[in-house]
Amino acid sequence: MSFLLKKAWDDFLCPMLQRPKRLQVAALCYRRTDSGKDVLLITSRDTRRWIIPKGWPIKGMDAPQAAMQEAWEEAGVSKGHGSTQSIGSYCYDKRMATGWTVPVETLVFPVDVQSLKDDFPEANERDRKWVPAAEAANLVHEPELRDILRDL
């Protein structure tokens, strides 16, 4: 009997109760150097851990455009060549203002940065720094994002 209950839970009830992942878009901002590529990391506002610019989709923009908008607002990328193709995705649990967490899948779009501004919307809320891609992979927490950075 307990086998049948567990099977019903695993095969039917549990999948019905799971929420689908929400979608975010991210800009993997990089610049070319003599030794490879450097990545622009920023700190999150709450935990101050190192991340890449990301956010929710923006009405009226496609995913790559929204990623570029996040790169401007969160990191000050004023000019860059962005790709229309995602180079991968990573998942994480986002803590909402309510204290609850929601599962999020984040599509990552590469952006070859041409110029940065020091005065941007979230300049007073975040730190930013350029680091080699391999070092960036060691600074972020999300395993799938680490893999994307190592492949850069």
Question: Is 90 exceeded by the pLDDT of residue 97?
Answer: no
- What value does the mean pLDDT take over residues 138-148? 97
Count CA atoms within 13 Å of residue 29 on its CB side: 29
Confidence of residue 20 (pLDDT cuts 50, 70, 90): confident
Lowest mean pLDDT among 8-22, 82-96, 112-126: 8-22
Collapsing DSSP states into helix, strand and coil, what is residue 117?
coil
Q: Taking residues 71-78, what's their average pLDDT?
A: 98
Strand locations in the chain, DSSP E? 22-33, 36-43, 50-51, 54-55, 77-82, 88-95, 101-116, 128-132
Q: What angle do CA 50, 52, 55 make, to 5 degrees?
A: 120
Q: What's the pLDDT score for residue 15?
A: 57
What are the tokens at 88?
Answer: 């991968």
| Averaged pLDDT for residues 33-52 | 95
Q: Phi/psi of residue 124, each to 5°?
A: -85, -5
Average pLDDT of the segment spanning 34-59: 95
Kindly report the average pLDDT of the chain as a whole number. 91
